[in-house]
Structure 1
Amino acid sequence: MATSSAPSSCSDVEKDTTNWEKSATHAQPPITQGQEDLIESLEPPFTENPALDSDNGTAQETTPSAKRAINNINSVPNGGLQAWLTVLGAFFVYWNAWGIVNTFGVYQTYYESGLLSSYSASDISWIGSVQATLLMLTGTLAGPLYDAGYVRTLLLGGSLLAVFGQMMLSLCTTYWQVFLAQAICIGIGTGAMFVPGIAIVSTYWSTRIATATGLAAAGSSLGGTVYPIVFYKLQPTIGFPWATRVIGFIMLATLIVANLVLKVRVLPSGRRRFLDLTAFREWPYVFFVAGTVFAFLGLYDPFFYIQSYAIESKIANQDISFYLLSIINAASTFGRIIPGYIADRTGPLNLIFPCTLVAGILCICLAAAHSIGSVVVILILYGFCSGTLLSLPPTVFVQLTANRAVIGTRMGMGFALTSK
């Protein structure tokens, strides 16, 4: 009897154990995707290759997780050749995105006295305004597509579209043609490559992310310095069409470099939504986006109008007034690099607020300046302070996003709202 009852007892124990495991499994409350990502972000870094057990020399199975690699800050390189090449690639993306927007001031002056002289200055400025708006508004689509893995398509497609728009601009003779090529085509093209270009940088840096982003953002001010000089020097000698094409060839060469060196380190697993509405339940994100909306309302007024203002108010002649735009962009270079280096120690928000406040005050002071010396001083200070508005916001979006798998989406949403 004893021997026959033992198997029954063992069977009962196994059944009880199985039932207990099932009940324990069903007793656990379900967790959301966001909670799962946050839990994974606290886990130690994983290895993609099987590791050898030090005790018995056998291979231990590991399951790589793309989400864990994104969320885990300990797995971020924070240096190395590829990380710095990524900064170089993002530098050229900025060079041809915001650098082209910063260049519009020289086109504004040329259009008013040449190609589009029959239109008002306000009508002409709509071209540059729509171009800048589309650059940020396209981020609404580019951000989620980046998170979904279409990085190469966005970078290559955006580069080709921007270069194509610049080349088509050289053939334009009417307002609607210029608007279509310079505002729509270039605006969408630069917007498609901007968010992926800067979002990739965030996957290579964490401890020095503001410095890396500031160095990349310096490309916009340097591009905005070089392109106006190229156009201003070449247009009187070779004409508007070929001066515009030369800029297009420079865009093509620099964007080829960007497409070659920008490489994705990690991507989220699975599909992502085009909107992350949970961001609007986080007050820090909401307040920051609202702040950038107001800050960008008047950011580009000096860039677009300073040349025309200096000429019409007789502060400077046409030759000297041309260099005022280059002065703003040159000063803005230091306003991207230096604050980025400091922000890694003080926090980016602690620099954006005072710099934005000072930039607003300087715009008011510009109306009271009536000599070339005072205008130059104001423009140098304004260029430096306004530079933080382009270099530091991507860093803030990264810090406000606990789940790095939706950085592209949240960054695109923020820039899209800012474009309004």
Structure 2
Amino acid sequence: MENRKEKTPLNFGDSVANKQPNPVSEPMTNCESAVSTAKAQLPPPNGGLTAWLQVLGCFMLYFNTWGLANAFGEFQTYYESGAMFKQSSSDIAWIGSVQSLMLLLTGVFAGPCYDAGFLRSALGGVIYPVVLYRLINTIGFGWSTRVIGFVALATLLIPIAVLRLRVTPPRVRAMVDISALTDVWYMSFVITTFLAFMGLFVLLFYLSFFAENNQITDKSMAAYIVVIFNAASCFGRTVPNAISDKTGPFNLIAPGTLLAGIFTFCLMAVNKEASLIVVTVLAGFVSGVVIGMPPLCFVAITPDKSKLGTRMGMGYAMMGLGVLAGGPGAGNILGVGQDLNWPGAWAFSGASCVAAGLGYAGIRIVKYGKQVRVRA
């Protein structure tokens, strides 16, 4: 009689589906847990095909989510023309506001997105408006949106195919951290960013329509205003983030948000194409600072980094209510008819950003002191 010794090979590359149930499954699970813990202690891969495929997959995710959200200004301008339906600016803005809010609410479930798509979402906001504007005049709005949907479908197959989980989390992350609601620094930052988002998204929604409605530019150039804004935002999301390693995030987000409010106030006096383009570039750049810095600020104000993902998800869900309020709120101020209240809308947007900038400055001074040359 042959004496057989059962062996259980440890092959960490096997998928869960390929593993056969056996009486030593519990030791196998413990071993895999130990390997996962060991991997977590190693630095993330910096280079190589697998690492760059993760970058490509994330690029496509942000390109088709926040990229489309940042392109809503072109949709707003088309809807305002009345070609599909006749509604007030406030009613139309609810479409883009709810779209953006839904993206932010998913942070509660999806966890942290540490770089918030600094560059990729802005690039989507550059390309999609151009595609939409060019196609509407040739194949109509219906087929234009279908083409965008097909492009999104094709490019989203890439992250499905290439994204991989590097380390299995040791435990399920809590969706809510009640202690965050009593953290003064955390709640102060969330409320301040609520105001910043409320003011900033007014620019994203209405700049193109402002140019066309006031005949500052022709219809074709008005379509490119949102493109210019998002292109400038690309640099605002990358360059300041590199600088923040030395200066700290609050030293950048406070003046950046104040400048966003000031540039928005400047729109009250704009009546020439050249001046509109200049203000659009400047406002777009500082908008990148406002959108790109909050993840770094969350890191700075979260002492227990094991709760960072939970707090960031909660924060973005609450801050998203500012996005929900900004577009429709400015639309209510604009009113209906031919004589729209543009100064009032820009005052609402600018005041929100200035208030947020002062709030960030207050957090910076109280938490880190009044000295200028302090990383904060």
User: What is the TM-score when the length of structure 1 is the normalising length?
Assistant: 0.64
Query: What amino acid does structure 2 have at the position aligned with 1:392?
Result: M
Counterpart pick for 2:54 among 86, 89, 99: 86
Once the two structures are superposed, residues 216-264 of structure 1 have per-residue CA deviations (whole angstroms, 9 ceiling, x without a partner) of 4211111011001001001111111221111112212222222333322
Instruction: Give distance in 2, aligned partners of 1:76 and 1:380.
Output: 38
Once the two structures are superposed, residues 187-207 of structure 1 have per-residue CA deviations (whole angstroms, 9 ceiling, x without a partner) of xxxxxxxx5xx25xxxxxxxx
Q: Contact between 2:71 and 2:126, CA under 8 Å: does it hold in 1?
A: yes
After superposition, residues 261-272 of structure 1 pair within 5 angstroms as 261-272=162-173
Query: What amino acid does structure 2 have at the position aligned with 1:79?
Result: N
Q: Which residue is 1:7 aligned to?
A: none
Once the two structures are superposed, residues 14-69 of structure 1 have per-residue CA deviations (whole angstroms, 9 ceiling, x without a partner) of xxxxxxxxxxxxxxxxxxxxxxxxxxxxxxxxxx9xxxxxxxxxxxx998386786
Instruction: Give distance in 2, aligned partners of 1:334 and 1:272.
Output: 33
Instruction: Give distance in 2, aligned partners of 1:83 and 1:399.
Output: 27
Say whether residues 1:111 and 2:12 are aligned partners.
no
Query: What amino acid does structure 2 have at the position aligned with 1:113?
Result: S
Unaligned runs of 5+ in 2: 1-11, 13-30, 322-376
Instruction: Give distance in 1, aligned partners of 2:32 and 2:229.
Output: 53
Instruction: Give distance in 1, aligned partners of 2:249 and 2:87.
Output: 41
Q: Which residue is 1:290 aligned to?
A: 191
Say whether residues 1:331 and 2:232 are aligned partners.
yes
Displacement of 1:268 after TM fit? 2.9
Say whether residues 1:121 and 2:89 are aligned partners.
yes
Q: Contact between 2:119 and 2:234, CA under 8 Å: does it hold in 1?
A: yes
Instruction: Give distance in 2, aligned partners of 1:406 and 1:267.
Output: 17
Say whether residues 1:76 and 2:67 are aligned partners.
no
Q: Which residue is 1:321 aligned to?
A: 222
Q: Which residue is 1:223 aligned to?
A: 124
How many residues get paired?
A: 291
Query: What amino acid does structure 2 have at the position aligned with 1:256?
Result: L
Q: 1:402 to 1:356 in 2, by over 3 A?
A: same
Displacement of 1:104 after TM fit? 1.0
Unaligned runs of 5+ in 1: 1-47, 49-60, 144-194, 200-212
Q: 1:319 to 1:76 in 2, by over 3 A?
A: same
Q: Which residue is 2:343 aligned to?
A: none
Q: Which residue is 2:332 aligned to?
A: none
Q: 1:62 to 1:123 in 2, by over 3 A?
A: closer
Q: Which residue is 2:63 aligned to?
A: 95
Instruction: Give distance in 1, aligned partners of 2:269 and 2:198.
Output: 21
Once the two structures are superposed, residues 279-334 of structure 1 have per-residue CA deviations (whole angstroms, 9 ceiling, x without a partner) of 23443322222221111011111111112211221211211111111110111111
Q: Contact between 2:33 and 2:170, CA under 8 Å: does it hold in 1?
A: no
Query: What amino acid does structure 2 have at the position aligned with 1:122?
Result: S
Instruction: Give distance in 1, aligned partners of 2:298 and 2:58.
Output: 17
Displacement of 1:402 after TM fit? 4.5
Displacement of 1:382 after TM fit? 0.6
Displacement of 1:376 after TM fit? 0.5
SS of 1:217's equivalent in the other structure is coil
Instruction: Give distance in 1, aligned partners of 2:293 and 2:127.
Output: 23
Q: Which residue is 1:64 aligned to?
A: 34
SS of 1:273's equivalent in the other structure is coil
Instruction: Give distance in 2, aligned partners of 1:227 and 1:264.
Output: 29
